[in-house]
Structure 1
């Protein structure tokens, strides 16, 4: 459920630029940043790239976009 919040103009302006480049709405961009930030704080021992890749993999699994991986023997 959406909840109205007050954000700084600078944050919203930054989000507008990145949102355009990433093909997201401004609210979705800020939500993405918040999820990444929370994941980083919850897992300080993990590199940011691993966290981003894990989040991407979870979204791919959620939307059924997974492909079977075959190991070379």
Structure 2
């Protein structure tokens, strides 16, 4: 269930611009920022870029994933 929340006008405008660039709603952009921030606070040893990329990858699902192949097991072609 959604809840109305008051935020700073500057933050709203930043979210609006970023949401348009990333094809999200403004609320979706703010939720994404909140998820990244929460995950970063829960995992302070991880770089923020890694946290963001991990959340994006999880949202994309396994159909877009590239399988990991260890170097020693690649086929010689």
TM (normalized to structure 1)?
Answer: 0.81
Bigger shift: residues 10-19 or 47-56: 47-56
Unpaired runs of 5+ residues, structure 2, are: none
- Count of residue pairs the alignment pairs up: 71
Which protein has the larger Cα radius of gyration, Structure 1 or Structure 2?
A: 2
CA RMSD of aligned residues (A): 1.8
Runs of 4+ in 1 over 6 A off after TM superposition: none
Matched, 1:65 2:63: yes
Q: Which runs of 5+ in 1 are unaligned?
A: none
